Amino acid sequence: MSTNGSERDAPFIRLENFSLSFPVLHGSARSLKKSLLKSVKRSVGRGMGHQVGGAVHGDDVLLVQALDHVSFEAGPGERIGLIGHNGAGKSTLLRALAGIYESSVGSLTLHGETHALLDPMAGMNRDLTGRENIRLFARYNDLERVHAVALERDVESFAGLGAFIDLPVRLYSSGMAVRLGFALATAPRPQILLMDEWFLAGDQHFQDKAEARLTDLVAHADIMIVTSHSMPILRRWCTRILWMEHGRVRMDGPASIVIDTYLDAVAGETPAPAPAEERTKGNGSDGQDRLTSS
């Protein structure tokens, strides 16, 4: 479970053996008749599931293990990147940190003002005008009037929508809507910043403008965690990398070392570090690779 600390206390993140799984229904599970029959079977002790290879299988339900006993801590000054192949658990971990997913397995603690940049259009009401969405955002975040006015000016200037700022968002082009959403989402200055790489989507001209704004946002955050497949961005922004694989932390250490090891493994130039369960000894008590700067 996650908790938030009081204003401007020293922020930190702590995960201890945090696991998360999602149920996936088989096609037959959608049948009312099948569901009723299975309910009867379960009532007499049949149709029980069993665990195989990290996924729990039942007659109609498969539990996919998205995160598997993830443990790490982060404190002030850390810039952490999450890397790994698609489906490795990067975005799931980020969403768990943002409070979107919860689990009763393990513990997750966030202490500090947290802001997640996951989707530029999140929370946007397309029937309201751009200006009305800005004011709604200000009310939702309990901004004082002076700060709300400053927010409106900042977003209006950055988004560059001109007269469209007073038209319903549903009339915007996709690029205009993204500019408005991005400007709004990047306005707060949180202690803990969580960011998904999809947040950087957009045309090249906007990406250049957006990256400059994000760089300033990252500089003001006490802790930053970002998922990305862009090694140049990770090398430039991050001091530490967590390499995710099959829902686990495969390697945790200084950005340059972990990125180089990951790229070598992907290219097949050198063997990847063995999974934790295949090692008899590890640098950490939980068996995952840990590297520290000298």
Do 150 and 4 share a structural domain?
Answer: no
Look at residues 208, 153, 158 and name the one whose alpha carbon lies nearest to residue 186. Answer: 158
Distance, in Å, from the CA atom of 23 to the CA atom of 238, rounded to the nearest integer, reads 34
With respect to residue 260, please indicate whether it lies within any of the assigned structural domains: yes
Q: What is the pTM of this model?
A: 0.75
Residue 95: band (very low, low, confident or very high) from pLDDT cuts 50, 70, 90:
very high
With respect to residue 51, please indicate whether it lies within any of the assigned structural domains: no
Q: What angle do CA 86, 231, 75 make, to 5 degrees?
A: 90
With respect to residue 36, please indicate whether it lies within any of the assigned structural domains: no
With respect to residue 39, please indicate whether it lies within any of the assigned structural domains: no
Distance, in Å, from the CA atom of 235 to the CA atom of 258, rounded to the nearest integer, reads 10
| Single residue among 138, 169, 189 that ends a domain in this structure | 189
Contacts of 242 by beta carbon, 8 Å cutoff, 6+ apart: 72, 80, 81, 82, 83, 249, 251, 252, 258
The whole-chain average pLDDT of the chain stands at 82
Distance, in Å, from the CA atom of 140 to the CA atom of 202, rounded to the nearest integer, reads 26
Do 164 and 132 share a structural domain?
Answer: yes
Q: How many other C-beta atoms can be found within 10 angstroms of the C-beta atom of residue 120?
A: 22
Do 289 and 174 share a structural domain?
Answer: no
| Single residue among 134, 165, 189 that ends a domain in this structure | 189
Does residue 280 surpass a pLDDT of 50? no
**Cβ contact 245:258 at 8 Å:** no
With respect to residue 50, please indicate whether it lies within any of the assigned structural domains: no
Distance, in Å, from the CA atom of 62 to the CA atom of 59, rounded to the nearest integer, reads 8
Q: What is the CATH number of the domain that holds 199?
A: 3.40.50.300
Residue 7 tokens read as 């204003």
Q: How many other C-beta atoms can be found within 10 angstroms of the C-beta atom of residue 10?
A: 11
With respect to residue 221, please indicate whether it lies within any of the assigned structural domains: yes
Do 131 and 85 share a structural domain?
Answer: no
Do 219 and 89 share a structural domain?
Answer: yes
Domain holding 76, by residue range, is: 1-27+67-113+192-294
Confidence (pLDDT) at 48: 43
Q: What does DSSP assign to residue 45?
A: T
Do 218 and 285 share a structural domain?
Answer: yes
Do 286 and 179 share a structural domain?
Answer: no
| Single residue among 166, 189, 212 that ends a domain in this structure | 189
Do 180 and 94 share a structural domain?
Answer: no
Confidence (pLDDT) at 31: 58
Q: How much of the chain, in percent, has pLDDT values that exceed 70?
A: 73
Do 158 and 216 share a structural domain?
Answer: no
Q: Each residue of 185-230: pLDDT tens digit?
A: 999 889 999 998 766 655 567 777 888 888 889 899 999 999 988 8
With respect to residue 52, please indicate whether it lies within any of the assigned structural domains: no
- CA 233 remoteness from chain centre: 16
User: For the residues 76-92, what does the mean pLDDT come to?
Assistant: 94
Domain count, the chain: 2
Do 90 and 14 share a structural domain?
Answer: yes
Q: Each residue of 116-137: pLDDT tens digit?
A: 998 878 889 999 999 999 999 9
Residue 289 phi/psi, 5° resolution? -65, 135
Q: How many other C-beta atoms can be found within 10 angstroms of the C-beta atom of residue 168?
A: 15
Segment among 68-77, 92-101, 241-250, 271-280 with least mean pLDDT: 271-280
Look at residues 157, 116, 89, 86 and name the one whose alpha carbon lies nearest to residue 13. Answer: 116
Distance, in Å, from the CA atom of 154 to the CA atom of 26, rounded to the nearest integer, reads 49
